[in-house]
Amino acid sequence: MEDLWAYRGLLLQGTLTTITLALSGLVVAVALGLLGAWGKLGGSRAGLRAANAYTTIVRSIPDICMMLLLYFGGQTLLNNIGQWTGLWDYIEINQFVAGTITIGIIFGAYMTETFRGAYQSIPKGQFEAATAIGMTPVQSFRIITLPQLMGYAIPSLGVNWMVLLKTTALVSIIGLQDVVWYALSAGRTTRNPFTFFLAVMVIYLILTFISELVLRWLERRYTVGRRPAGA
Amino acid sequence: MNPDVETDPVADFFTALAEFSETSAPLDFVLIAQNWELFYNGLLNTLSLVFLALAIGMVLALPMAIIKAERMPIGSQLVTAFVYVFRGTPLLVQAYIIYYGLAQFEFIRDSVFWPYLREPWWCALIAFSINSAAYQVEIYRGGIDAVPRGEVEAATAIGMSRWGALRHIILPSAIRRCFPMWGNETIFLLHGTAIASTITVIDILGAGRQLNARYYLAYEGFITATIIYMILIFLLTRVLIRVEKHLMKHMGEENLVKPAGKVLVT
């Protein structure tokens, strides 16, 4: 216990890194997910093919492989390209960036399915009504589609977020100092690894619990319009 | 072309491949081919971990799912807590706490289990089994809850005991129903077992990492491992879809328990 108290600052710092990484990964994932859903539903054949290839490939690669490949392989690839073209000198990919990109790419594929499903749940009449009162496609998307899309997407988005949060633990393997990384090194120094990993599990459970509360609140907020009148 | 010289297309292919590897290819195929045994052993390690963990997870999960579905007091709360803890924390941390963490306690180091708990492979198996059990509990519980009431009532009506109904009617029906989600969990677990390489098990990814370390490579090992995983998952998905079609022939689509969230098999 004294060990945990002695390392509280580092564990807290690691937890903040975990949260920041998860949130930045989520932003990339949502952006890629919207793009992927647009590819799947946009009606263009090339878009559909590209989006299908994206989701299929991501689903068949373990997350940790993708992370190692992007971090170590991506670095070499970038520098080889720089060397051939002479456009840039040595570049070092930062672990945080590699982690964000990996998590974004992986969960972008799951978000693609989330947004595709959510879009298809919006009643067709909504779009027809928007056209009927003279909205442009952009207006219709911004005012009619997007707010409802979020409402339908939140349950599945929430599940993805929970998995994403746990996936962030993998960045400790490429050396990013997240909560798992600090626990591993503190456990080695103090020779009490069990204590520190138990603490990390509790930290993740607290984060999961907070996420559940936030998601419940978001779901209520975004489905206000769907509740029957008077309820 | 000289007709006297026998040309061996296979040998030609390998000469060409070696030349291509050394001169222009970004990957050293020859080096990978020379180390095929490393990857083969890695493949065996991964497959044995996946299937053993699935089986042990199933054995652990079924009683827990029944306890939860029957809403037994205390028992079902304990199961809920177990599921919450092991689904709510990263598999990596679970593997670490077993492999690195347990050695902290002297009574474990002195126990009869220590020869196993010292081995990374056994630690990985324990971690994956427990983790998979937590996911499988929810799958089976969902399956049991989805069995139509009429089937249960019919079983009671013909005089089956609660246990008899569970064994002959509810479980067979529930297990078929949750096959799609179970297939999902299989693929999820195959992804997850790549974590074994972080606790020094030479699985597929471990083989890749070892190749990289041995020859100071940046990505050859990772790419080879990734390709093996992709092929495995592709094949596994085909098999699962085929089995699912076979099992569900008599059922309408609407009776299946649909996977939520991380959908891998579609």
Most B-contacting residue of A65, A76, A80 (CB-CB within 10 A), to test interface: A65
Place of tokens 């093996």: B228
- For residues B127-149, give the mean pLDDT: 93
Q: Per the domain annotation, does A231 fall within a domain?
A: no
The predicted model gives B152-159 an average pLDDT of: 90
Residue B104, chain A, CB below 8 Å: the answer is yes
Residue B2 pLDDT exceeds 70? no
Q: Rounded distance, CA B230 to CA A110, Å?
A: 17
In whole angstroms, what is the distance from residue A198 CA to residue A183 CA? 9
Q: What is the mean pLDDT of residues B67-85?
A: 93
The predicted-structure confidence for A91-121, as pLDDT tens digits, reads as follows: 788 899 999 999 999 999 999 999 999 999 8
Q: Give the pLDDT confidence score for residue B21 in this predicted structure.
A: 63
Q: What is the pLDDT of residue B254?
A: 52
**Nearest residue in B to A194, CA atom:** B101
On whether residue A25 sits in a domain, the answer given is yes
> Which DSSP helix (H) or strand (E) runs through A126?
helix A124-132
| Distance, CA of B190 to CA of B204 (rounded, Å) | 11
pLDDT at A231 over 50: no
What number is the ipTM of this complex? 0.89
Asked if B140 and B83 touch (Cβ cutoff 8 Å), the reply is no
Closest Cα in chain A to B184? A59
Q: How many residues does chain A have?
A: 231
Q: What is the pLDDT of residue B218?
A: 75
Average pLDDT over residues B216-222: 83
pLDDT attached to residue A228: 58
What is the rounded average pLDDT of the residues A125-143? 89
Residue B264 has pLDDT above 70, yes or no: no
Counted across chains A and B, CB pairs separated by less than 8 A come out at 131
Burial class (CB in 10 A: 0-12, 13-18, 19+), A205: middle
The pLDDT assigned to A26 comes to 97
Residue A179: inside a domain, yes or no? yes
3-class DSSP assignment, residue B163: helix
Of all residues in chain B, the percent with pLDDT exceeding 70 is: 87
Q: Do A201 and B85 touch (CB under 8 A)?
A: yes
**Total domains in the fold of chain A:** 1
pTM here is 0.86
Q: Which of A99-108, A193-202, B206-215, B257-266 has the lowest mean pLDDT?
A: B257-266
By Cβ distance, the residue of A69, A168, A200 closest to B226 is A69
* Confidence label for B262 from pLDDT (cuts 50, 70 and 90): very low
Rounded CA gap, A12 and A178, in Å?
9
Q: From CA A198, how far away is CA B180, in angstroms rounded?
A: 33
CATH number at residue A17: 1.10.3720.10
**pLDDT-derived band of residue A32, with 50, 70 and 90 as boundaries?**
very high
The per-residue pLDDT of chain B, averaged, comes to: 85
Which tokens in the block code for residue A7?
């390392």
Average pLDDT score over chain A:
89
Instruction: Count how many Cα atoms sit within 13 Å of the Cα of residue B74 in the half-sphere of its side chain.
Output: 0
Report d(CA B97, CA A44) in Å as an integer: 49
Are B247 and A79 spatial neighbours (Cβ–Cβ below 8 Å)?
no
Cβ–Cβ below 8 Å for A64 and B197: yes
Say which CATH class B31-255 falls into: mainly alpha
Out of B84, B97, B219, name the one closest to residue A76 (CB): B219
Query: How confident is the model over B204-213, as a mean pLDDT?
Result: 91
Q: Which residues of A101-139 are buried (b: 16+ CB within 10 A; e: fewer)?
A: bbbbbbbbbbbbbbbbebbeeeeeeebeebeeeebeeee
Full residue range of the structural domain in which residue A194 is found = 2-226
Residue B164 has pLDDT above 80, yes or no: yes
Contact A3, A190 (CB under 8 A): yes
**Spatial CA neighbour of A112 closest among A70, A185, A26, A54:** A54
CA distance A99 to A108: 14
Angstroms from B255 CA to nearest CA on chain A = 20
| pLDDT confidence of residue B266 | 35
| Among B88, B208, B229, beta carbon nearest to A61 | B229
